[in-house]
Amino acid sequence: IYMGMVPELAIACLACARIGAPHSVIFGGFSSQAIVDRVEDADSRIVITCDGAWR
């Protein structure tokens, strides 16, 4: 799950728990290559994200 601190983050985490899917929250301060490395190392099939958020 790659999102800012938005309500949808909690909803995504709870949805994963509900269906029994493991989830991992990715820290937003990583470089793009570090994010790619982590997603590939985890052998992720789905990445949940948002296109933007208000601060």
Q: What is the pLDDT along the chain (55 residues), one digit of tens a residue?
A: 888 888 899 999 999 999 999 998 888 888 999 989 988 999 988 999 988 777 6
Q: pLDDT value at position 30? A: 87
- The 10 Å CB-count burial string (b at 16+, else e) for 43-52 is eeeeebeeee
pTM of the model: 0.74
Look at residue 42 and give its three-state secondary structure: coil
Total number of domains constituting the chain: 1
Proportion of the chain in helix, strand, coil states, percent, rounded to 5: 40, 5, 55
Domain hosting residue 47, numbered range:
1-55
CB atoms under 10 Å from CB of 31, counted, come to 8
Is residue 24 a contact partner of residue 1, using CB atoms and an 8 Å limit? yes
